[in-house]
Structure 1
Amino acid sequence: MPENVDRSSARETGAVSQTNRHPMILRVSSVVVASILSLLMLTAVVPPIVTDQSDRAVVDAPVTLLTSPIDGEIDSVAITPGRTVEAGDSLAQISNVRLDRGTLISLEEKAAEAREKLAAAQGNRDSDRAYLKSLDSEIANQIEQLKALFQSQIVELRARVSQSESLSAEKKALVDRQSDMVSRDAASIYMLKPTTQQYSAALHNADAENAKLNQKIAQLDALEKGIYVGDDLVAIGTLVQKRRDIDLDEKRMEIEAKELSAVLQDHERLIAAERNRLETLAEANIRVTTAGKILNVGAAPGRHVNAGDTVASLVDCDKRFVVAIFSYRQGQSMKVGTRVRVDGVSFGSGIVTAVLPKTSDKIDDRFAVPFPQTERRELYAIIAPDIRTDGTIHPEAAVQHEQPTSCNVGQWVTVTKDDGIVPSMSVTWRRLETLMTSWSDKKDPLQPNDRNETRRETGRSMLASAFRSASQAARQSADLGGWAPRTDAVVSR
């Protein structure tokens, strides 16, 4: 009986102790959860207040739009997103079979017509030249014949003149003798009168022969000088006049041929230019203008594009920069030239090149990622990579997971002034990831590279998903949802 009493009292004591233990576990659990939440809130709120630091920063870069120069269908695309290209590399091949060749056909018809007219004008000119040669030969022959004729006539007329002068001298002597006889009354006056008339006739005949001689000499001189006057020169004058008409027509044909030749050359030049234009519009090879990485490709084989349509966008990785948001209080110390630390990318540090307020809500298509939205009393800090670094890389940047987008464009980073002391939670998680990854590499160094890489990626992904989800719940903002950039793959915070 006493044993039963002792057992019942022992059960009651155990039940009381278990009842007192459960509230203790709840209190301890509550304290632990509250401590963790307080720690998260403290690490999320205190660093931005104590230090000049911003987790609202994204890697950006200028974008070059590669457009189609012609209308047509895309035959082939030689690039893919994320590929590094150099200036002059082929991007895509475009062909256009639906070209309007009406202008070329019209120009070719005009050129053919001008060519026919030119051939006709040249034929007429050559015919006139041949006719002129025959006329020149005929005129030269007739001139030689007329010269010989005139020279023979001149010789004959000179003989006649001499004969007339001799007859005149005889008549003059007879008149003188009869006049002497009449003066001595040896002869009658009536006998002198006929002799005087004969002498006068002989003088007139001599003058006539002299006139004929002078006329022939003048005609010969005129013939030699190219003056065709007189009945004997009518035929040759007609030939010369006809030659002048043919010569004028030949010159007119020459001028017309030159004009038609100039017109034909103009048409041929226009035809060549039109053919070059059609060749340019028929096929085009889009080439990269500057070196960089392909951000996205908006074309596929078989797609019809118009001139000016964007085929692909190119990111100039050499000109990448970081856009960070700071408050006006923090911006007072973030002046141009300030050196900052950039956690999350390979270059590790940078220099502030500009501090700008937000002036417009429009999206700037010149950059790969739209600038993040700002709240009241906030501004942008533009940070360029520090090109004066000695090439060393921060430990956390050495194992930073590279994003699938071009040269880290669209990747969220943390920007801290160099003299900052208290790091943010994102920096802390990143350093912890780096530490655990390096520890894992040291623990198993003999594994193959692919297995190390797989383990490293898995560990980083698990840590990042756990730590960032916790920190995101503590400092999530209402307007951060509109920060999605235009890139195909962007790491969101």
Structure 2
Amino acid sequence: MPITLLRVLIAAILLVVVGFTVAPYATSYVSTSAVVNAPLINIRAPFSGIIVQPTKPVSSIVETGETLIELKNSRSQRGTLQGVKTRLGSLNGEIVGMEKQMRELSDLRTDLITRRDALVAARTTWFIPRLDAAKANIDRAQASLLKAQGNMARMEDLAEDGTATATTLSAAEADLIAAQADLAQQKAVYAQLEVERDTLDGEMGIDLTSNGFEQIEYRLNEIDVRLADINAQLLERQAQRAGLKNQIAILSVEALRQESFAPKVSTSGIIWEASASEGGTVASGENVATVLDCTRRFLEVQLPERHFENIPTGTTARVQLKGSTEHFTAQVLTAYGSGARPNRDMQAASPRIQTEDGFRVIVGLGDANVDDVMASGSFCNVGRTADVRFELHHDSFMSRLSRLFAGLGGNTSTSSALTSDTAATPIETE
């Protein structure tokens, strides 16, 4: 009898053990594997340089706005900028010299014009008595002509009366011709003086009696040509100066950007990979630090692919990290089949789980408290595996059976835990 009782007791214990083992699979969808993950933020050096301020050690907390690392460019980027500034200085010197030369030529031109105007005024004043003298000579020539004409008329009358000889008549005729020629000459002289006077204020400034005006006009023309040539060169230099100033502005910004690199932390996280120590060298494009973004943690869960349509987005998941006695709930963000290529750029924990015979479910875990020593020391639990269960479909047989047992008061520890966890409010997800 005792042996029979012992056998019955052993059988009951085995049934209870099997029940506890099979019950989770009968009342929920159980993950085959699950791992906590989070994206990594890689910081790469934009240039070859030296570490002036290294990052904090691995697993240290970094806050938003904090300077993560500071690099100094090992090769000076200001050589090109200094060369352009030197060219600008030389060009400024040329422009100043040209402007000074133009001012001096303009002053000389003004002086020559003043001298020419003075000469014109003097010549004009000088021409007044000359014109008066020319007019007097014309009047005298006209009087001589009238006298010669009267003498000629008298000689002709005397010749008709026979009292004048042919020689006397011929002499009177010659005097008349000479008087006419003298009058014409005096008029020509007057016309010449008028031409000289009228051309003094003209553009050429011709003086028929002196070459002073011609020299001044020649020099003025030469100065105008020189001014036009310098002005063209000056405009070219000014355009070059404007281009160099624009280039200097661009190079200054670039030199400042390339002089040092001190990125700020965009989101709170934990140092996943620290930089080398102070004074260490880095190459352009080299990864100098990596920050774990604990604000976007997720749980990567693998399930048999036959459950794909039974776990839609928003489904509540019951999560227990392995090694922990606590449970919490989360919600499904998305799911994709075994044939889908995972996003390796989001990889934090390595290696990522494989889904050759199942499908992958992404469960949002939300933000982690990086100020917690336990969380920061364990990298916000990234890389830890977990047991994840999902509620059965509401109309499934086992779900109805579970609700029946619950209604009869036959609550087991497993169903009680499941009921309490599924009734909990899910944590906030991204």
Q: Which category of TM-score, normalised to the shorter sequence, fits these structures?
A: 0.7 to 0.9
The answer as to whether partners of 2:297 and 2:364 remain within 8 angstroms in 1 is yes
Alpha-carbon distance change, 310 to 200 in structure 1, aligned in 2, over 3 angstroms: same
In the alignment, residue 324 of structure 1 is paired with which amino acid? V
| Residue identity (%) | 18
Out of 376, 385, 403, the residue aligned to residue 412 of structure 1 is: 385
Structure 1 partner of 2:36: 59
Contact 1:293 1:407 in 2 (8 A): no
Q: Does the Cα contact within 8 Å between 2:204 and 2:217 map onto a contact in 1? A: no
Q: Of the candidates 215, 232, 236, which is equivalent to residue 213 of structure 2?
A: 236
Q: How far did residue 240 of structure 1 move?
A: 0.6
Distance 1:141 1:417, change over 3 A: same
CA shift, 1:179, in A, is 1.5
Give the equivalent residue in structure 2 for 1:373.
354
Identify the residue that residue 277 of structure 2 maps to in structure 1. 301
- Other structure's SS at 1:266 match: helix
Supply the AA of the counterpart residue of 1:77.
P
> Please, what TM-score do these two structures have when normalized by structure 1?
0.68
3-state SS of 2:87 partner: helix
Q: For residue 352 of structure 1, what is the aligned residue in structure 2?
A: 332
Partner of 1:201: 178
The answer on 1:283 being equivalent to 2:260 is yes
SS at match of 2:364: strand
- What SS does the aligned partner of 2:330 have? strand
Structure 2 partner of 1:98? 75
Residue of structure 1 aligned with 2:135, choices 135, 158, 169: 158
**Equivalent residue for 1:210?**
187
Provide closer, same or farther for how the CA distance between residues 98 and 38 of structure 1 changes in structure 2, counting only shifts above 3 A.
Answer: farther
User: Of 309, 314, 321, which aligns to 2:291?
Assistant: 314
Deviation at residue 295 of structure 1 after TM alignment: 4.3
Amino acid of the residue matched to residue 158 of structure 1?
A: K
Answer 1 or 2: higher relative contact order, Cα 8 Å, separation at least 6: 2
Q: How does 1:27-426 map to 2 (within 5 A)?
A: 43-45=20-22, 47-48=24-25, 50-54=27-31, 56-77=33-54, 79-80=56-57, 81-86=59-64, 88-99=65-76, 101-288=78-265, 290-302=266-278, 303-344=280-321, 348-359=328-339, 364-370=344-350, 371-376=352-357, 378-385=358-365, 402=375, 404-419=377-392
CA deviations on 1:166-185 (whole Å, 9 max, x unpaired) are 11111111111221222233
Q: What are the equivalent positions in structure 2 for 1:468-479 lying under 5 Å apart?
A: none
**In the alignment, is the contact (CA less than 8 A) between 1:295 and 1:405 conserved in 2?**
no
Q: CA, structure 1 residues 145+326, in 2 after alignment: closer, same or farther (shift >3 Å)? A: same
Instruction: Kindly provide the CA deviation profile for residues 132-153 of structure 1, in whole angstroms up to 9, marking residues without a partner as x.
Output: 2332222222222221222221
Compute the RMSD of aligned alpha carbons: 3.6
Seen in structure 2, the aligned counterparts of structure 1 residues 407 and 413 have a Cα distance that, compared at 3 Å, is same
Letter paired with 1:298: A
Matching residue of 2:409: none
Q: Shift of the alpha carbon at 1:402? A: 4.9
Distance 2:296 2:327 in 1: 13
8 Å Cα contact 1:75/1:95 also seen in 2: yes
CA displacement at 1:44 relative to structure 2: 4.2
Pair 1:92–1:385, CA change in 2 (3 A): closer
CA contact (8 A) 1:347 1:385 kept: no
Residues 360, 334 of structure 1: CA spacing in aligned structure 2 closer, same or farther, 3 A cutoff?
closer
Distance (whole Å) between structure 1 residues aligned to residue 164 and residue 13 of structure 2:
186
Asked whether the equivalents of residues 102 and 227 of structure 2 are also in contact (C-alpha less than 8 Å), the reply is yes
Deviates further, 184-193 or 269-278 = 269-278
Residue-by-residue CA offset, 1:65-93 (whole Å, 9 max, x unaligned): 2333332122223545352522x321112
Deviations 1:205-260 (A, max 9, x none): 11111111111112211212233345325321121111110121122223223322
Once the two structures are TM-superposed, the CA of residue 154 in structure 1 deviates from its matched residue by 1.1
What TM-score results when the alignment is normalised by the length of structure 2?
0.77
For 1:247 and 1:258, the matched residues in 2 are separated by 16
Letter in 2 for 1:83: I
CA change 1:50–1:107 in 2 (3 A) is same
- Count of equivalent residues: 386
Q: Pairwise mapping of residues 430-445 of structure 1 onto structure 2 (< 5 A)?
A: none
Equivalent position SS for 1:52: strand
* Cα distance in structure 1, aligned partners of 2:80 and 2:17: 75
Q: Distance in 2 between matches of 1:214 and 1:403?
A: 114
Kindly indicate whether the alpha-carbon contact (under 8 Å) linking 2:60 and 2:376 is maintained by their aligned counterparts in 1: no
Q: 1:312 to 1:130 in 2, by over 3 A?
A: same
List runs of 5+ in structure 1 lacking aligned partners: 1-23, 388-400, 432-493
Q: Find the aligned partners of 2:201 and 2:306 in 1 and give their Cα distance.
A: 114
Q: Deviations over 1:298-336 (max 9, x none)?
A: 203322222332233334444332211110122231123
Q: 1:201 to 1:58 in 2, by over 3 A?
A: same
Distance 1:193 1:361, change over 3 A: closer
